[in-house]
């Protein structure tokens, strides 16, 4: 799979191309199985991680097209598609539960850090306003 950087994802996608919008932090590609489904993948600390390697683009974790009829499951690693086993409905539900738990943990930690910084800032302001 080759990489094409773009600001906006084109309406018509080419097979074998991973489109990357760094500005909007997401990627899109046609499903690797050939069914023609457009797969959009958000990037970020609670979503997928994108790496541009010498061999080609890499996304982590795997791409699970659970809402598509094909339900394809694969990794995109250094431009290559690595097929994974199809998941059962129970595995899909558990994967979604774990994904939501990771997101919640990330935002809980971010909130704690922001609250700590806010308390330190207010304490410092208090020192100098007296």
Residues in the chain: 130
* The residue to which tokens 């990794």 are assigned: 75
**Per-residue pLDDT at 26:** 95
Whole-angstrom Cα distance, residue 29 to residue 46? 20
**Per-residue pLDDT at 127:** 76
> pLDDT, tens digit, for every residue of 28-83?
999 999 999 999 999 999 999 999 999 999 999 999 999 999 999 999 999 999 99
> pLDDT, tens digit, for every residue of 94-121?
999 999 999 999 888 878 777 777 777 7
Do 73 and 94 sit in the same domain of this protein? no
DSSP 1: -
Side-chain half-sphere of 45: how many Cα atoms within 13 Å?
7
Do 99 and 73 sit in the same domain of this protein? no
**Per-residue pLDDT at 118:** 77
Do 48 and 100 sit in the same domain of this protein? no
By CB neighbour count within 10 A (0-12 exposed, 13-18 middle, 19+ buried), where does 116 fall?
Answer: exposed
Do 107 and 62 sit in the same domain of this protein? no
Q: Is the pLDDT of residue 128 over 90?
A: no
**Per-residue pLDDT at 130:** 61
Q: Is the pLDDT of residue 90 over 90?
A: yes
DSSP 44-106: STTSBEEEEETTEEEEEEEEE-TTSSS--EEEEETTEEEE-PPPPHHHHHHHHHHHHHHHHHH
Which residues span the domain enclosing 115?
88-130
Give the confidence band of 15 by pLDDT, cuts at 50, 70, 90: very high
Q: What total of structural domains would you count in the chain?
A: 2
Do 9 and 73 sit in the same domain of this protein? yes
Do 21 and 76 sit in the same domain of this protein? yes
């Amino acid at each position: 799979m080759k990489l094409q950087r773009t600001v906006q994802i084109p309406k018509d996608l080419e097979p074998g191309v991973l489109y990357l919008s760094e500005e909007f932090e997401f990627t899109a590609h046609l499903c690797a199985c050939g069914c023609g489904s457009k797969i959009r993948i958000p990037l970020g600390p609670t979503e997928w991680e994108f790496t541009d390697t010498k061999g080609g683009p890499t996304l982590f974790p795997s791409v699970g097209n659970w809402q598509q009829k094909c339900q394809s499951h694969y990794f995109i690693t250094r431009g290559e598609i690595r097929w994974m086993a199809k998941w059962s409905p129970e595995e899909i539900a558990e994967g979604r539960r774990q994904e939501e738990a990771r997101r919640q943990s990330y935002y809980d930690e971010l909130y704690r850090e922001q609250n700590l910084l806010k308390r330190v800032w207010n304490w410092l302001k208090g020192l100098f306003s007296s």
